[in-house]
Structures are given as C-alpha cells and as structure tokens.
C-alpha cells in the first residue's frame, strides 16, 4: 500500500465492513471486531498518510455512533 488511491480503496472497504459488522453483531461488540479489521491498514500505512487515516477511521466510528464526537464542532 503506497498510494492515496490504495488507501482510499481500503478505507472504502473498511466502511463497508463496518456496516456489515453493525448489521450482524450487537452494537457493543462491533468496536473490538472493527479494530481487528482495521489493524492491517492502520499499522501499515505510510507515515505521510498516518494522520489522515487515523482521522478517517475515527470519523467512521463517530458516524456509526461507536465513539463520541470530541471535535470542537461535535
């Protein structure tokens, strides 16, 4: 995984996987399950994209209601 488009594709796959997990499992189990799914992306992302990927994954979890929105506007 080297390019922005590779990362974008993996983020899209994670978003779809998160929805599938939400549909198939109790809400309180999804965060741990999703962490396992996201781990390869989060651990292997090039340094220049790390902050962006962390932010996008966090935003996904906030939007799904799995984490509180702690942003200044949230």
Domains identified in the chain, total number: 1
3-class DSSP state of 61: helix
Q: Which domain holds residue 26?
A: 4-63
pLDDT tens by residue, the chain, 74 residues? 579 999 999 999 999 999 999 999 999 999 999 999 999 888 999 999 999 999 999 999 999 999 998 876 65
Decide if 74 is inside a domain. no
Decide if 70 is inside a domain. no
Decide if 55 is inside a domain. yes
Closest to 41 in 3D by CA, of 33, 29, 49: 49
Decide if 69 is inside a domain. no
Distances (CA, A) of 63 to 13, 20, 57, 60: 16, 15, 10, 5
Read off the pTM: 0.87
**Half-sphere exposure of residue 25, counting CA atoms within 13 Å on the CB side?**
15
- Give the phi and the psi of residue 35 in degrees, each rounded to 5: -60, -40
The vertex-71 CA angle with 47 and 68, nearest 5°, equals 100
């Amino acid at each position: 995984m080297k390019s922005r488009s590779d990362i974008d594709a993996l983020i899209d796959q994670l978003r779809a996987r998160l929805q599938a997990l939400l549909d198939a499992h109790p809400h309180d189990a999804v965060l741990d399950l999703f962490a396992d799914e996201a781990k390869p992306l989060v651990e292997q992302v090039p340094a220049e994209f790390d902050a962006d990927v962390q932010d996008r994954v966090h935003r996904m979890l906030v939007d799904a209601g799995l984490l509180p929105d702690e942003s200044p506007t949230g």
